[in-house]
Structure 1
Amino acid sequence: MDLQLSVFLLFILFTAGHSLDCYVCSNSTGSCVGQQTVITCPAGSSQCMSSIIGIQVGGNSSTGNIKACAAACLSQSFNFGYVRTTVSCCNTDLCNLQDVPVPVATGKSCYYCDGQSCSNTVKCAGTEDRCIKVPASDFGQPTLVKGCVSKSLCDATTSVSFGNATCCEGNLCNGAQSVTQSVLFLCCSLLSYFLMH
């Protein structure tokens, strides 16, 4: 019995002292490869995260990469027409070495809102297998965010009742009706929420 207790305590000491090592990088103009560094994650961080973010405003577009330690990370993807993000999570040392690849189009489409209309369509890519519609309020104005999302993101938003979000599986199933919007503000809020949770 004493031997079992000793082995158990020894196991706890060795596993409690192990910290996760992850690559970190923030590059707003392209790849992190060659620019990333290794850090030992702080207590409470149990995953390494790697993400690719694409933003399109008017005729200008940019793609960036972020790698970091994460306390809680959800592998997911979304595309709201002018903001696309794919996040990959892993839980072993230095597992986030590679940049997340740009997702490949799947043939599915969903509606998205651009501030003028919600009848625009966007092509889903990678794991984005659902359409989403998120009605909310922005400074007293009705707002609406629509686009493509992965199932994992739909499950997460419905479990926390985020802005009465509804997901559906059919092509263009998230409706084309128009709503007055302040879309950029709401999408930045959603992006921050999804990246931080």
Structure 2
Amino acid sequence: MDLQISVFLLFILFTAGHSLSCYECTGLKGSCAGQTVKTCPSGSSQCQSLTMVMQFGNISRKVKMKDCAPACDSGSTNLGTSKSTTSCCDTDLCNVQDAPDHPSTLPNGKKCFSCDGQSCSTVSCSGTEDRCATATAIYGDQSLLLKGCISKSLCDAAVTAFNNFNLGSISCCEGNLCNGDQSNGAQSVSQSFLFLCCSLLSYFLLH
């Protein structure tokens, strides 16, 4: 009995002192080839990987990010001109693989309006994208209207990020095409601002 108690206490001490390790990288050019190992700070219990693919006209950009996270929800978004996928796990160095560029190419039957700040259309949602999102991102004296498909888990995380960092506002709804098609109140913006906004969104989803 004493041996069992001793082993149990040692196990508790070991697990209490163990810090999660995750891969970390910020690949603004689409690669995490130089990823490093990071010992996560207290309070971070998961590893996270994000891939965002953006297409504006004939300009394409891919962003990959990895880091520790205090909380993480796997899911994806489709804003028409940009798509992102987030993968989460909770063991040491489990985020070695990049999040996929596209989580699923099979439409799930849901459709949402998609706006990129200049025009609106409709997109077919896929995978776990079970909500339509409407976001107004604020940068300086400019506002950008974004709409599209999103997983519920990522919408909840985005609402928290927008509120905590005063990025603007975001809301999600469940019905087909429930996020409307009006684009009033958003100024036309340059491609560079769209890139900046998407990069900021991906950063805050990872923290």
Cα 1:37–1:114 change in 2 (3 A) is: closer
- Contact 2:117 2:145 survives alignment (8 Å): no
Cα 1:146–1:37 change in 2 (3 A) is: closer
Match of 1:170 in 2: 175
Percent identical across equivalent pairs?
A: 53
Query: Using the alignment, how far apart are the partners of 2:161 and 2:36 within structure 1?
Result: 33
Q: CA deviation at 1:152?
A: 0.6
* Residues 146-179 of structure 1: per-residue CA shift (max 9 Å, x gap): 1111011233345678445321223322111122
Query: Using the alignment, how far apart are the partners of 1:132 and 1:174 within structure 2?
Result: 6
Match of 1:103 in 2: 103
Query: Using the alignment, how far apart are the partners of 1:115 and 1:96 within structure 2?
Result: 33
* Secondary structure at the counterpart of residue 179 of structure 2: coil
Query: Using the alignment, how far apart are the partners of 1:31 and 1:189 within structure 2?
Result: 18
Match of 2:37 in 1: 39
Match of 1:27 in 2: 27
Q: CA deviation at 1:88?
A: 0.8
State the number of aligned residues. 193
Does residue 194 (structure 1) correspond to residue 194 (structure 2)? The answer is: no
Query: Using the alignment, how far apart are the partners of 2:128 and 2:45 within structure 1?
Result: 23
- Contact 1:145 1:186 survives alignment (8 Å): no
- Contact 1:158 1:166 survives alignment (8 Å): yes
Query: Using the alignment, how far apart are the partners of 1:83 and 1:97 within structure 2?
Result: 24
Does residue 18 (structure 1) correspond to residue 18 (structure 2)? The answer is: yes
Q: Which structure 1 segments of 5+ residues have no match? A: none
Q: CA deviation at 1:17?
A: 2.2
* Secondary structure at the counterpart of residue 128 of structure 1: coil
Query: Using the alignment, how far apart are the partners of 2:142 and 2:159 within structure 1?
Result: 23
- Contact 1:21 1:41 survives alignment (8 Å): yes
Match of 1:120 in 2: 121
Cα 1:158–1:69 change in 2 (3 A) is: closer
Does residue 134 (structure 1) correspond to residue 139 (structure 2)? The answer is: no
* Secondary structure at the counterpart of residue 191 of structure 1: helix
Q: CA deviation at 1:100?
A: 1.8
Query: Using the alignment, how far apart are the partners of 2:10 and 2:37 within structure 1?
Result: 26
Root-mean-square deviation (CA, aligned residues, Å) is: 3.2
Q: CA deviation at 1:30?
A: 4.2
Cα 1:138–1:19 change in 2 (3 A) is: closer
User: Partner amino acid for 2:201?
Assistant: L
Cα 1:54–1:159 change in 2 (3 A) is: closer
Does residue 146 (structure 1) correspond to residue 147 (structure 2)? The answer is: yes
Does residue 56 (structure 1) correspond to residue 66 (structure 2)? The answer is: no
* Secondary structure at the counterpart of residue 130 of structure 2: strand
Query: Using the alignment, how far apart are the partners of 2:138 and 2:66 within structure 1?
Result: 32
* TM-score of the aligned structures, taking structure 1 as reference length: 0.76
